[in-house]
Chains A and B, each alone.
Chain A
């Protein structure tokens, strides 16, 4: 069995909170109306599909089919990936129980706790009564497994309606999920298409195909072969703890002493660091963490957050896109004349590591707008709603950012891509549509934007210089024949003819236009002037 499939089989889950709760409050998860629910369902399934592929270094092949069941307002949404697949033992819980990751380890992923897809299943079930259908074949497995599942809402338990498996002929691995929900395609159409387009921008290493209810086929080919490095799982950083997290960590820990517990449960804490911390916090290293009272836990959490000498959180858990992928994605989909991307060094806020990336695309087929076209991403997910309340908008907004300094004056054909990746993206709401203005993130966004904008400025400056030279060359060449003819007419007999005056004049022009010979040749090439008398 390959290493990848080991990972797939080891993913473990445990129940978190009753699905009843989400049934009552489905709006907060984005299922507020048929249009939004259709968009949200596509999104959850696509994000799971990508998480099952690129996170493990697999170049994603994803197909999405949205069909309307004739004569109804019900839609079947099927998403298939070539990912690592799901261990058949976990399939019922993965789709039929509102679950929580069993390990308190962190890493960047698109969906969190696999909550979203269960919401889609739940929503489908209550609006159409139809179960979710899953085909999956884990990497290395010789079989394909099939499930038809419903959720027992009161008990928060999966109900397996059908189950089958057969041996597989080819090498296929991955998962195919079909959910049926009540939706509103006419109102969801533009959002869904935009979502897929934006997803394709940051996943140029993926091949994405979508067939929509109108019969349109959208195809985004794979244009780069490199998949970004996947995130590694890391333990929480002590700066990021609260009482609740502490309790859970202690509960699942077998450590006998507080010192042992700290070393085992957190990153950036070794023997020496643990001793120093406990000494400064005046805590007994040998106390059994399971015996701590609420007050003591509160004190411990506070001291952990305040202690200054922990190493900064590890960025291993993060998976930035990298400048090449951002540039390739922007180039292929927006078709700009210039593109640049910047990936900043890892930073942390409140114990959570994060990396900010910014891409700028300029000119070409981008329309000139009164403000920058903003493409926001968090952990590789496009964010489409609530743009103006997002910290990224705050940073790129021409009222806050001096675009003129970078030779951009609006209306301008410019698109800005922002990507924030973190083990904990500070969303403003559970709908995951806008990022809160955390000062550390805002600062990094601004630094990244400046860095990218400086490169844009250099490009525009060079372009301006070239255009200026071109304009001069054109102007001079345009009028040269008249000037040559006039001088020849007036001064004939002085040993001059049109040819030699022209040559001399071009020589002077070349000297006056301060560009290198190569550019000059390029500018002069193919230009022609004629006079109609």
Chain B
């Protein structure tokens, strides 16, 4: 008979979270005992309260606070929802469970039946859509100061990693260089991963999963001592946190490779600065040192002394005409402070002038070897990236 499986790292995390919950909600109980209106005080999660910290180069929550009181007609339901969600999460932590946000939605969704003075029943759901329960989860994150990962709430795994590196996840040691044709799926709780040993010089994050696979099979990471990662589109929280840890704890430079269009630029921006909707986690998820490797507009068209990587004929074949939405997005990005550096201005201006975009796959189309053994290493070597 095997001994029951015990995940020590997990247990510690749970204990920590439970303690924070008790401390935070004791404050509410104390208010009630003093005869005060029970009130949750939490940072406002609004665009107006999202601040770009220039020195730390991060999107952070501002100082505005929201007071959510139970005995306030307009806040009562939200207050109830917040406490209900706190209870479900608390119970899941106690019971060693790993709920997803969808699970939490279902666990908390039930009907309150209210009978009026005539005995007529009125029904109301605690919440109707997952949008509501998701918002409450974010409120609990900011109220407790715990990220959902720290409360052992899972989400779908999306990011993948390979490289010359060994990690401990749960009770297992995993060698990220022995994943065959596959890759290690970055777990939703990357803080519980322990780095054991690493032999790498940089981290390359590729937006596209297909390009990641191509680079993996051609042996890119072995040849250049890289940790190769894909976010498979918009990065999830786990991938961002994992990249951040590689940069912060192992001091590895991080290069990001996306499509050459405003959406690719925004993916880079999320890795580097944080997202507007989740600005409260930037401090832990963002990688301010991340570098935009490409594909840049100057790679496509050349600029000043820089020679273009594509010939006139290749450009004709590979370039896609920018859509209305791309152009609109580019103008939006121009408003963000962190896109107002000279290099970014040049990028955006070329884009708006040429009204052209390009997918990374197009470079692989020019030849995978070109992408893996010329374009990427050359750009890193010559320092041809944008900070």
Contacts and interface: CB of A to CB of B under 8 A. Distances in A.
Interface of A: 471-472, 474-479, 481-483, 485-487, 489-491, 494, 496, 501, 504-505, 507-509, 511-513, 525-533
Q: For the side of the interface on B, what is the size category?
A: 35 or more
Nearest to B78: A479
Contacts of A533: 110
B115 A529 contact: yes
Contact of A479 (B79, B86, B117, B119): B79
9 contacts: A472-B73, A490-B21, A490-B86, A505-B32, A508-B36, A512-B71, A513-B71, A526-B117, A531-B113
Interface stretch (B22-30, B233-241, B309-317): B22-30
A509 B87 contact: no
Contacts of B29: 487, 491, 494, 496, 501
Contacts of B83: 482-483, 486-487
B37 A528 contact: no
A513 B72 CA distance: 10
Contact of A489 (B32, B37, B91, B117): B91
Interface string B104-141: 00000011111111010000101000000000000000
Contact of A490 (B90, B112, B114): B90
B52 to A, nearest CB: 36
B87 A527 contact: no
B124 A478 contact: yes
Nearest to A491: B29
Contacts of B26: 491, 494
B33 interface: yes
A478 B115 CA distance: 9
Interface string B85-96: 011001100000
Given A483-B79, A490-B22, A509 B71 contact: yes
Contacts of A512: 37, 71
B25 A479 contact: no
Given A475-B76, A478-B124, A532 B71 contact: no
Given A476-B70, A504-B33, A491 B119 contact: no
B320 interface: no
Contact of A483 (B73, B80, B90, B113): B80
Given A482-B126, A491-B29, A508-B71, 11 more contacts: A475-B77, A479-B77, A479-B80, A483-B83, A486-B83, A489-B91, A490-B87, A490-B90, A494-B22, A530-B115, A532-B110
A487 B124 contact: no
Given A501-B32, A504-B33, A474 B70 contact: no
A483 B78 CA distance: 11
B383 interface: no
Contact of A508 (B35, B87, B117): B35
Contacts of A486: 25, 83-84, 86-87
A488 to B, nearest CB: 9
Given A479-B76, A489-B87, A508 B25 contact: no
B149 to A, nearest CB: 20
Given A483-B70, A505-B32, A529 B87 contact: no
Nearest to B26: A491
Contacts of A508: 32, 35-38, 71
Contacts of B33: 504
Given A479-B77, A486-B83, A528 B115 contact: yes
Contacts of A472: 71, 73
B136 to A, nearest CB: 12
B130 to A, nearest CB: 18
B366 to A, nearest CB: 59
A485 B38 contact: no
B113 to A, nearest CB: 5
Interface string B34-47: 01111000000000
Nearest to A475: B76
Nearest to B126: A482
Interface string B315-359: 000000000000000000000000000000000000000000000
Interface in B144-181: none
B90 A489 contact: yes
Contacts of A505: 32, 38, 70
